[in-house]
Amino acid sequence: MVDAEQKDPTRHVELAVETPSGTWPTEGFFQAPAWQHVEHQLKHAALELQIDDTSGWEATAAGRKLDIRASFKENRLEGRVVIRYGPGPAMNPRV
């Protein structure tokens, strides 16, 4: 049985991470807890996409830079989220 917390859409985000090496997941979106730090999912995406070095990379979503040490909720991300993750402004142009 699924409890009310799992059904509450504010407790999760649907996530996709775009990088220069590809997108994770390769199709659709992954459900991540809203309380989880963004960095955790970026590390997971890098591992899945076999990216060895992400030092100096930036993460943006909805046209703004993210604090990857903060949670999705603290970054005011909700619903369906696409994070662009790559080396500096070239991968993450300001819109």
Q: How many domains does the chain have?
A: 1
Task: Report which of residues 5 and 13 the model is more confident about.
Answer: 13
Q: Is residue 38 within a helix (H) or strand (E), and if so which, with residue range?
A: helix 38-48
What pLDDT is recorded for position 93? 53
Q: For residue 17, is it within any domain? A: yes
What pLDDT is recorded for position 23? 97
What pLDDT is recorded for position 88? 78
Q: For residue 23, is it within any domain? A: yes
What pLDDT is recorded for position 89? 63
Instruction: Write out the residue range of the structural domain in which residue 20 sits.
Output: 12-91
What confidence tens digit (pLDDT) does each residue in 34-89 have? Answer: 999 999 999 999 999 999 999 999 999 989 999 999 999 999 999 999 999 999 76
Q: Is residue 74 packed enough to be buried (19+ CB in 10 Å), middle (13-18) or exposed (0-12)?
A: middle
Q: For residue 28, is it within any domain? A: yes
Q: For residue 20, is it within any domain? A: yes
